[in-house]
Amino acid sequence: MGNESYGKKRFKRSRSHFADRITADGRDGWPVEAGRYRLVVSLACPWAGRVLVARRLLGLESALSLGITDPIQDDRSWRFTLDPDGRDPVLGIRYLSEAYEAREKDAPGGVSVPAIVDVPSGRLVTNDFQQITLDLATEWTELHRPGAPDLYPRALRAEIDEVMEDVFQDLNNGVYRAGFATGQEEYERACRDVFRRLDALTRRLADRRYLVGDTLTEADIRLFTTLVRFDAVYHGHFKCNRYKLSENPVLWAYARDLFQTPGFGDTVDFDHIKRHYYRVHRGINPTGVVPLGPDTDGWTTPHGRERLGGRPFGEGTPPGAP
């Protein structure tokens, strides 16, 4: 999709075409191996943001190297113009599309992040944003840091999956359905879904610190990466403006609690987020003007959620400094 076409055609999120899994037993041909793979992300992207948080919490930085793209795409999609000579220093490529093409020429679904690339061959392994973080939590355990939390505890998986599915349909993806809507009814339906889910989450989180159980889980990660972008881009740019996150006392406190937890806020770059959405989505924002606000200082103010108890890392410990 070219930058000018955003908001001009009906939005439908593509399923990940490359859904191979990197597993402990290597059953898809990709065994877990320290140093073999490179994670490519945009700091602007909420789907990539999930992987950044999980990677930090689990202590996989040394095992899974990181490539960061320019937040501004051109029509060949994600590019490595932030690196010297405009090339990823490990993969040696200028565009992420080169790793896609090395795997399969003219593959459907476009070039997306997060993406994990096999360094020796330069081929894309997976862009399955729904599965990557789950596999980091459950298949990469031998490479986890001492004290890494269990982000997908077996006893709670059914409840975590149910919560994540509702959040995905109405909120994670719902903001895009609203923002890229091409007609009034389509927009209103999506926007109502967004706020119906935010209202339901407000009720759920009013008396509990985390979404499922008393520790951080994958469900919190997936909600956080949407909430942290809400006031900066979804409220104005995507017209999800019934209220701001900062006007909802429960969700604003919950989001600040996570932001101030090691592994969450230290993966966020508001500059990349705003420049990507406002400058790339020319079909919605033709001028490419990036707003000055909102003020982000509030993210570090006291949240008071400690009173609800909970143990952020369970029996584990927080990650070290990034």
Tokens 């055609």 locate to 9
The catalytic residue among 37, 95, 176, 277 is 176
CB–CB of 222/164 below 8 Å? yes
Q: Give residue for tokens 């200028």.
A: 94
Q: Is 6 a catalytic residue?
A: no
Q: d(Cα 176, Cα 196) in Å, to the nearest integer? A: 15
CA dihedral 91, 94, 96, 97 (to 10 degrees): -120
242 Cβ partners below 8 Å, 6+ apart?
A: 191, 195
Q: How far is it, in rounded angstroms, from Cα 38 to Cα 41?
A: 10
Q: Supply angle C-alpha 234, 130, 179, rounded to 5.
A: 20
> What's the CA gap between 190 and 188, in Å, rounded?
5
Q: Are 223 and 198 in contact (CB under 8 A)?
A: no
Of 6, 37, 45, 210, which one is the catalytic site residue? 45
Interatomic CA distance for residues 113 and 128, integer angstroms: 9
- As given in the structure block, the two tokens for residue 168 are 């995905």
176 is catalytic: yes
Active-site positions read: 45, 176
